[in-house]
Structure 1
Amino acid sequence: MTDHTAVNTAFGVLGDPHKDFLWTKKALTKLLTAGVKQVHVLGDFGFVWHGSPQERNDLNRLTKVLAEADAYLYVTGGNHEGYAALNRHYPEDEDGYRHLTDRIIWLPRGWRGHTTAGTVVASLGGANSIDKGRRTPPVDGHGGSWWPEEQITEDDLNRLGTDPVDVLLAHDAPRTQALAAKLYPNQGFWTAEGLMYADMGQQMFQRGVEQVKPKVVISGHYHLFLDTTETFHDHTGNAFDTRSIILDCNGFSRSAAVFEPETQTLRILPVV
């Protein structure tokens, strides 16, 4: 049986695939050719939406690519995920994992793993959709384009715990000044309600950051690339530095990378 808490000394990271099969297959192939055996999707995987036969076919085809390299794909959930279909078709096992296939594993929020050297890697998925007002909720657990499970909850933060981690894999990102500066020009595209809702989600994520004080957070969600370091403070006022890496999304060059958790080295692999 595969130990899904065992983290390799190098693994792949993917920004939002958005159910783009051709791009995802190309990105996976590039990462696997580089030698990694584990790839982490940083949210908005999208291949579980309404649970259609086409989605199952796409998952099986991605699994074939992974199997040929004896590799695994791990999903940290985002906001644009079909949570109703996920709950209906892929129940959690006793450890909280959802097995989309035998090689595509959906991680529970608060998951922790570690390298043989003891470097701790954790996962905290979820984010609030800034365009929630343009989307529809499911009816009786079916359909929809917005799902309340996108939100980080108090239970999620409790599962994450307070023990420090070295690397936090996420969809949302820390509240850095650099990210705020990049997002500010786009505020006019969104409603006040959408901006407030998204901000509430990022506040919840920031609480998780302050709980575990990661050295590095690797995220998706914002459809841009950013690599910045900022000083934060926990609830007692103690300062800590966190490097925030945000990968771009499908179709953009800085959306796939190899990360070495023990040295915190990031190597971008452009997908063309």
Structure 2
Amino acid sequence: MGNVLMTGDIHGNTDHAVRLVRVAVREKCTRMFVLGDFGAWEHTPEGRRYFDVVNRVARKLRVQVYFLDGNHDKSSLVHELYDGKADDDGFLVCRSNIRYAPRGHRWVWEETRFAAFGGAYSVDKSWRLAKEAQSERNAQRRRRFGSSRRPATVGKLWFPEEQMTDEEFDAVLTADTSPVDVLLAHDKPRDSAPDWNRKNLPECLPNQDRIQRAVNTLRPGLMLHGHLHYRYTDMIRCGADHWTQVDGLGADPEASHRHDYDHDQSWLVLQLPSRHASADREQPELAS
């Protein structure tokens, strides 16, 4: 199956998504995995069109696109549309070449054990709710002047399911506490310390604590995430005798808040060990 192109947030940016699929081909990756904020907005015509375009390009270039949910993905709708449509690895099949990893999902590729935990807190929650409220006021005004349209205005920009509750997280994590090799998430673990981080409000910390608990429990050698829109690498301790490498990835250009943005900061290649490696277990590596 080959290696995996890991990418940060795409936010429904079609040009960026298509470019990344082409990067996957160039880097000889048959799979691309988006670490949240993929652009799962099928409650809008634009969101459905985005899925269709990315799927068409991925199918043509023979790349399978996977994603876990970020705080800006409407994951409740993904489940509503695609629950019951899982492939052999347990991913929900959204299109022929687009698949979703539910929260807490575990799978094995090339003898490498993975787990995925989506979700995070939206630092722009107030802005999004204000925009929804304004849309509702506009809709009510039109109805007073005789319009019969009843457009949905709630749940279009901010999604209540953006992060797991402690109870939901506990249930998923304790269902299987066996170690993994690679942990994928949208949010960062609490203990990682990038030198630039705009997602550090007090409201952000409970979910970072949840991801930290996943690291401490599952003890991955490598943990990858998006959300910060910033490329960094850190080493954090999980337990007395184990360290985890944490890599955060950048986002699409329109979402970057850095003047020094580089497209290559939004992806990396995860090299998986050969199926027929030596008896000593090989660990997945990041391409330099």
Q: Indicate the TM-score class for this superposition, using the shorter chain for normalisation.
A: 0.7 to 0.9
- Give the aligned residue type for 2:219: K
Question: Which residue does 1:19 correspond to in 2?
Answer: 12
Distance 2:54 2:3 in 1: 21
Give how far 1:53 is off.
Answer: 2.6
1:158-178 CA-partner distances (Å, limit 9, x unpaired)? 334210000011111222353
Task: Give 5+ residue unaligned stretches, structure 2.
Answer: 137-151, 254-261, 274-282
Match of 1:218 among 224, 236, 240: 224
Question: Which residue does 1:149 correspond to in 2?
Answer: 161
1:223-248 CA-partner distances (Å, limit 9, x unpaired)? 11111112133xxxx44200000010
SS of aligned partner of 2:237? strand
Q: Percent identity?
A: 28
Give how far 1:210 is off.
Answer: 1.2
Question: Which residue does 1:5 correspond to in 2?
Answer: none
Give how far 1:52 is off.
Answer: 2.3
Tell me the TM-score normalised to structure 1 length. Answer: 0.80
Give how far 1:90 is off.
Answer: 3.5
Question: Which residue does 2:121 correspond to in 1?
Answer: 128
Question: Which residue does 2:94 correspond to in 1?
Answer: 100
Distance 2:79 2:112 in 1: 31
Give how far 1:129 is off.
Answer: 1.5
Query: Is residue 71 from structure 1 mapped to residue 91 from structure 2 by the alignment?
Result: no
Query: Is residue 175 from structure 1 mapped to residue 181 from structure 2 by the alignment?
Result: no
SS of aligned partner of 2:5? strand
Give how far 1:50 is off.
Answer: 5.0
Distance 2:181 2:153 in 1: 37
SS of aligned partner of 1:145? coil
Residues 1:67 and 1:81: Cα distance change in structure 2 (over 3 Å): same
Q: Higher mean Cα deviation, 131-140 or 238-247?
A: 131-140
- Give the aligned residue type for 1:266: L
Distance 2:154 2:84 in 1: 18
SS of aligned partner of 2:96? coil
RMSD between aligned alpha carbons?
2.6
Question: Which residue does 1:165 correspond to in 2?
Answer: 180
Question: Which residue does 1:246 correspond to in 2?
Answer: 248
Kindly name which structure, 1 or 2, has the bigger radius of gyration based on alpha carbons.
2
Distance 2:224 2:233 in 1: 9
Distance 1:267 1:42 in 2: 18
Distance 1:219 1:228 in 2: 12
Distance 1:142 1:93 in 2: 27
Task: Give 5+ residue unaligned stretches, structure 1.
Answer: 1-7
- Give the aligned residue type for 2:245: R
Give how far 1:28 is off.
Answer: 1.0
Question: Which residue does 2:108 correspond to in 1?
Answer: 114
Give how far 1:131 is off.
Answer: 2.5
Give how far 1:73 is off.
Answer: 0.7
Distance 2:92 2:154 in 1: 19
Residues 1:229 and 1:18: Cα distance change in structure 2 (over 3 Å): same
- Give the aligned residue type for 1:250: D
Give how far 1:84 is off.
Answer: 4.6
Distance 1:14 1:125 in 2: 14
Answer yes or no: is the 8 Å Cα contact 1:32–1:69 preserved in 2: yes
Match of 2:211 among 195, 205, 208: 205
Query: Is residue 264 from structure 1 mapped to residue 271 from structure 2 by the alignment?
Result: no
